[in-house]
Structure 1
Amino acid sequence: MHWTVAAPFINRLNLTQEYWLTKYVPGDRHKFAIVPRSQPLQNWHDRKSKVTGLKDWLIYWQHGMDAVKITRGGIITVFPQLPAVLGMQRRLTRKRFPIIAWLFNVGTCSTGIRCQFAKASLDNIDSFIVHTKRERDIYHEWLGIPKERFEFVPFHEKEIPITHQENTEQPFITALGSAHRDFPSFFTAVSKLNLPTVVASGKRALEGIDIPPNVQTPFGISKAECWRLSQEARINVVPLLPNSQVTAAGQVTIVEAMQMGRAVIATRCHGAEDYIQHGETGLLVEPNSVDELTQAIEMLWNNADLRNRLGQAAQRYAKDNFSCESSGAALGKILDKVADSYNTY
C-alpha cells in the first residue's frame, strides 16, 4: 500500500536528509512519500505558549491539505495536531483513506470546546500510536474511542554518537529536559548532598525556583551539547512532577540517556516505568520523595560498579527496544493491519 508521511519536523529545507522510519519498515508491501511542512517547526523550549496558536494551526491545516492532495493510499502523521486537522479534512472532503497517528501525545487532555473538537476530529482515525501504556486508558476515556485503536510502541530515537567519556576529574550530575520536571525536589536532593550539578532546561521550567549554588543552569544550548552533558555526567536524573492530568513526560530524555549507556534515575510516573526496569536498566523513585531521590543519587554516585552495570544494561535494552529498526518493524505490522482492514494492497 502507498503511504504519505506528514511529520511537522520534516520541512522543505531538510526533506532530502530526513526519511523518518520509512527505510526501516521491513519488506516491500508498503511504499512511502513524504510531504514537507511549509516552514520549520519551532523548538518546544523556545515557544512562549504551551498550546498551539492560530498561526500554527493554519500551518498544520495547510500541511494536512497537501497530504490529502497527493496521497494515493493512506496517511501517516506524527504528533497530535495533524491527525486532528486531517480528521476534519476527511470529513469535509468525504474521501475514504486510512490515517495512522504516530506519537500521539497531547500533553494534557483538554476540556470544554477543545475537547469536543478533539472528539469530532479524531473519531475516525484508524490507529493511534502512543508511547506509554497508560495513555491507552487516558485517551480511551477522554475521547470515547475504542481502546483497541490505541497501540503502545516505545519511543524511538536514532543512534546517538558517543563522542565523550564520563568526566572523572570533575564529576557532576545532570538533569536534562523541561516538561513536567520536579526541579524543586531535585534541587533539594543535590543541595543536601552538595554535589556538582548541571541542569539543561528551558527558562520557563525553572522560573520562580531557587537555584542552589552547586547547580549550573546553561540556557539555549544545542542538542549536541545536551548529549555531551549526558555522556560526561556521572549520573543522569529525570525528576518528574506527578500530575493526573499529564499524559506522558520524560521519555525522550530517558531513551537518549539509555542509548548512550548512562546510569539513569527517574521518577516513577508519566510512563517512566515503561522504559526503565528498576534495578536492572536504571533506578525508579517514588514521586515527591526527596528522601528516595537523595538516597538513589548518593548510592549511584558512590558505586561505580552499579553505575556501569545499569548503564550497559540500559544501552543493550535501548538497542533492542528503542531503535529505528525496532520501531520500523512495529510500524510495518500496524500498516499491514490497517491495510488489511481496507482490503487494499
Structure 2
Amino acid sequence: MGDFNLTPSDPSVFILMGIYGLEAAHLWISIPFSMCYIISLLGNVMILFLVCKEQTLHKPMYLLLCMLGLTDIATSTLVVPKALCIFWFNLKDITLSGCLTQSFFLNMVLVTQSSVLVTMAFDRYVAICKPLRYPTILTNVRIMKLGLVGLVRAALIILPLPLLVSRLPFCTNRLIPQIYCESIAVAKLSCGDITVIRMYGLVIMIINMGLDQSLIALSYGLIIRAVLRISSKKAHEKALSTCTAHLCVMLLYCIPSLFSVMTQRFGQGIAPHVHIILANIYLLVPPMLNPIIYGVLTKELREKLGRYMCRVWSVKA
C-alpha cells in the first residue's frame, strides 16, 4: 500500500504496480515467469532454426509455424523483461511514451498472431478439404504475403489507440495495477472523457476475438465435416493426425484469450491479482507450450529434430 502514497513528480511518468495484492510474493512469482520465458525462447528459436536449416521444411505449414514462433518470442520479450525488473529490482517507473510504445507493439503482435492463426486454420482446411489444389492455392510466396498483410492490418488497427490515449489529460493518480502497459488501463487514469477510446477498444476486441476466432471456428467446422465424410479408416486417421497439433495450438491460444477477456469484462467480483494472473497466463503459457506441442505431435518436425540432435551429438563425440 505504500506505493499508493508515492506519486511521481514528473507528469509523464507512470508506475506499474506489478501483481497488486501479491507484492510480497513477487520474488517467488518471478521464477515461473523466468522459466516460461526461457522455455519459450529456446523452443521457438529451435523451431525457427530447424525450419531455416532443413530445405524439406520449407513448406507453407512450417512457414506459418515460424511466423507464430516470431509472434511468441515478441510477446514474451515485450512483457517478461520489464516484469522481472519490477519483481527483482522494484523498477516500476515508466514514461507515458514508453508505456504507449509497449502497449502498441504488444497489441500489434497479438493482432498479428490472431491473423497467423486464421491463416493456419485456412491452411489445414485447404489441406484436408481441397488436397489436390493445395500446392496452387497456398504457396510459400502467398503465405509470406498473407503474413505481411496481417502485420500491416495489425499496425493500422492498433495505431489509433495509443495516439488517442496520448492526447488525454491525466490526474495525479498514475498507478497502473499491472506488470505491463495496456492502453485502456492508462486511459482509465485520465481526467478526460474516454468514451471514444472504450468504443475503439471494443471494436478491436470484436475484430480480434469475434471475427478472427469465428473464421477459425468455421474452418475447423468444415474440416470436421469433411473428416466425418471420409469412409476409409486410414485416410480418416491421417486427416486427423495432420490437424491434431494445429487444433491443440488453436485451443491453447483461443481459450485463455476468451477467458481473460470475459473475466475482465464481467468478473467485477474477482480479486485484482486473479485478473492480472489470468492476463499473464494468456500471454506467457501459449508461447511456451506451442513449440512443445508441435515438437511432440508433428512427426516430420520431430524426426528432423531427432536427426539434427543426433548429428550434433556425433560431432561432439
TM over 0.5: no
- Flag the structure with higher helix content: 2
Bigger RCO (CA 8 Å, 6+ sep): 2
